[in-house]
Amino acid sequence: MSTLPQGTVPPERQPSGLRLHLPTVPEAFASLLQTVVAALFLLTFVLQPYLIPSESMEHTLLVGDFLLVNKQVYAPGGMLSRWLLPYRAVKRGDIVVFHHPDPPYLVKRVVACLATDCALRKGESR
């Protein structure tokens, strides 16, 4: 056992520059509540997760894949919300999700838009 000079603090007892701050129970609860409220707002009005239910989009999306859908991109926007969230028209090639009685929703690719001629030949759209 070595002895240290008088007035020297052993290395294991020296204070470090970093201190661990553990939140109190009210602080932790408030943080958790803020996170839950923000997540509920986003999932209600802005984003929604979907699971691909069938093979109809097999070349692009596989069964069991998850989509995070932006609910606002195609919504009609007001004057105030136009600068806040992005809005645009539906374009060919977009993947859209819409409600249907059976199954509860459909995930499809847009093949034609307004004023576009569409033909189906040998199982392919043109």
Please say if 2 is a catalytic residue.
no
Q: Which of 31, 81, 108, 125 is catalytic?
A: 108
Distance CA 105, CA 111 (A): 18
Q: Which of 56, 71, 122, 125 is catalytic?
A: 56
Is the Cβ–Cβ distance between 100 and 78 less than 8 Å? Answer: no
Please say if 108 is a catalytic residue.
yes
Structure tokens at 114: 């307004």
- Displacement of CA 118 from its chain's centroid (Å): 33
Is the Cβ–Cβ distance between 64 and 52 less than 8 Å? Answer: yes
| Strand 105-109 with 95-99, pairing | antiparallel
Active site positions, annotated: 56, 108
